[in-house]
Amino acid sequence: MATVKHELIRNFTSEEAIHHSKISIVGTGSVGMACAISILLKCIPDDNTVHLVTMSPWTLVDCETFVVFDDVDHFAEYWSMDILTYVAWKLSAFPKNRVIGSGCNLDTARFRYFIGQRLGIHSENCHGLVLGEHGDSIPIWSGVNIAGVPLKDLNSDIGTDKDPEQWENVHKKVVSSAYEMFKMKGYTSWGVSLSVADLTESILKNLRRVHPVSTLSKGLYGINEEIFLSIPCILGENGITDLIKLKLTPEEEARLQKSAEILWEIQKELKL
């Protein structure tokens, strides 16, 4: 008889535990510097030191786990961050559990914040995920709950075109928020840097928290190609240790598969 744990969690790596104590940031642009400051403010490194390296984004120096974040604008103009994460995985030859795209981790934080703002509840008590492609993400309304109460039980059309309350505007606000901030401030480095610090903390402190980050998704949710997309992952000292087996609606799964198809059409032209 299958246990609850077996039904919920899928193992992602069989590696022995590795203790991490060093953080290297490749690239000292505005995002790289903001990441360094955010990580230091959380007091994550054992020696309170972050190593900054001014080389190509793909020069991986002395790193045991590589997190890809938005500091590669000259590539991102043509490729999505999920494809860049795939490229980093291929070029680094690291195992799949140790190349992680920041993916939808920040979008999910914004999603929860805007839900809480609308309900007048702190975002820590708003549980929901944004998955799929970075920049063209999918809100998983079927799993959104407040203190265990599924919002779909209260409004069966939530997040759809039929929803009289138009909750889909919450996700639209998530998508547009980065553009709004860029218009007002001229940069968006601090949001992603705080997200990267959050991921770094989960890895180095072996917290085993669940994050929607970009990882190799072949064989999941009907995806048949080597595509990196954001799915709920458990992060610990080996990077991605396990995956959460999320129960998606047919519509949500179809949207995830469509995202994978779009990425694959671009990615299959790469010669790596």
| Cα 104 to Cα 91, 128, 132, 264, distances in angstroms | 23, 12, 7, 19
How far apart are the C-alpha atoms of 221 and 254, rounded to whole Å? 9
Question: Could you tell me whether strands 136-139 and 145-146 are parallel, antiparallel, or unpaired per DSSP bridges?
Answer: unpaired
- Three-class secondary structure assignment of 214-250: EEECCCCCCCCCCCEEEEEEEEECCEEEEEECCCCCH
Catalytically active residues are: 134
How far apart are the C-alpha atoms of 28 and 9, rounded to whole Å? 37
Residue 179, C-beta contacts closer than 8 angstroms, at least 6 positions apart: none
